Amino acid sequence: MATYKEIKGTQIEVLASDPSNPVEGQVWYNTTSNVLKGKAVTSAGSFASTPNLNNGRFILAGAGTATSALVFNGYHPPSPSPESSTFTESYNGSSWTEVNDTNTKSMGAGGTGASNTSAMRFGGTVGPGSGQAETELWNGTNWTEVNNMNSGRDTIPQAGTGTTGAALVAGGRGPATTVEQWNGTNWTSMNSMNSGKSACTTFGTSTAAITTAGNGGPDSATESFNGTNWTEVNDLNTGRSQGWGCGTSQSAGILMGGESPNKANVEIWNGTNWSETTDIPSAKNGATAGKAGSTSSLLWAGGSPAPTGNQSWTWVGPGVSQIRTFDDS
């Protein structure tokens, strides 16, 4: 029988702790934990719990990545009715820190942005009634009010995508087919979606986006935006609203959770089809994701049901190299 060294060209190392920067294919025995480990490509996604938010809430908005994120606004009982908030929290990859609040008190607002130093929020509502049109930009320290959207709306916490210089938001309470594009200074009304949606999820860029799920018809419908028009593409496997997700392009996105009832389903978009992958640890809706994340790594936080609206998790997607124990499947 061939030895591991004959097959791989190296011996299995015996170490008191895991190496700080292992390479793919490296295998070692950890004498502290008495576990055989290696670095290999995952065949399924996995979740790791991260520190909780300081202020639990849901239908909140977010921006950034798994190591540089910002979350803001949201429904926060037991605040005085109608329980909307101005809370803003920044994540540096290891902890959440409360930072300066938004100027606009809101829940169900939209958000997007590249990091915890570059983000934007728009729309939402303070309570029952018409949606807000206010837009604010975050520079890493403060929120600044800028030009409003053309039409106020709410129920859009995951309906925006892009950057502070080029963003897109789709749908809203109605359910609405309304779409607006942000150029860094002003919002411009764009061609409408084919189906009205509220609580939908959008990812990609301001000129190449995917919008999916949401209340309206139907909740599994997915549409693709080419900068001018919307085209219906293949549906989700599990229809829902109030899910959360992100993606770097029209060909790479992820959608998690949702309702109704609360769901644990996770699906990945490859540019043509949706595929089911590892479920989230517990079914919920109304959380938010770092909108600049990817299908291989993202952070999400908050969500309903209470009192778990302060939970925070990171996702490592399939096809990613990570440390695994010998008996991992």
pLDDT at 35: 86
pLDDT at 309: 83
Q: Averaged over 151-169, what is the pLDDT?
A: 97
Pairing of strands 187-189, 179-182: antiparallel
Parse the chain into domains and list their residue ranges.
Answer: 4-41, 46-316
Q: Averaged over 198-221, what is the pLDDT?
A: 94
160 three-class SS: strand
Q: Higher-confidence residue: 7 or 217? A: 217
The residue with tokens 């837009």 is 135
pLDDT tens digits for range 246-295: 999 999 999 999 998 999 999 999 999 999 999 999 999 999 999 999 99
Q: Sign of dihedral through CA atoms 260, 262, 265, 266? A: positive
Name the range with the highest mean pLDDT among 75-84, 185-194, 306-315.
185-194
User: 198: closest CA among 268, 265, 286, 272?
Assistant: 286
**DSSP letter, residue 280:** P
1, pLDDT greater than 80: no
pLDDT tens digits for range 100-118: 999 999 999 999 999 999 9
Q: Averaged over 17-36, what is the pLDDT?
A: 86
pLDDT at 329: 47
pLDDT at 128: 76
Pairing of strands 160-163, 143-146: unpaired
At residue 165, φ and ψ (nearest 5 deg) are -105, -15
- The lowest-confidence range among 76-80, 166-170, 211-215, 312-316 is 76-80
Question: Domain 46-316 carries which CATH code?
Answer: 2.120.10.80
- What percent of the chain has a predicted confidence (pLDDT) above 90? 76
| Rounded CA separation 119/136 (Å) | 9
pLDDT at 321: 73
206, pLDDT greater than 90: yes
Angle at 219 between CA 218 and CA 220, to 5 degrees: 95
The average confidence (pLDDT) of the chain is 92
User: 169: closest CA among 197, 130, 137?
Assistant: 197
Burial of 57 (0-12, 13-18, 19+ CB in 10 A): buried
User: Which residues are within 8 A (CB) of 93 and not within 5 positions of it... i.e. 6 or more apart?
Assistant: 66, 67, 68
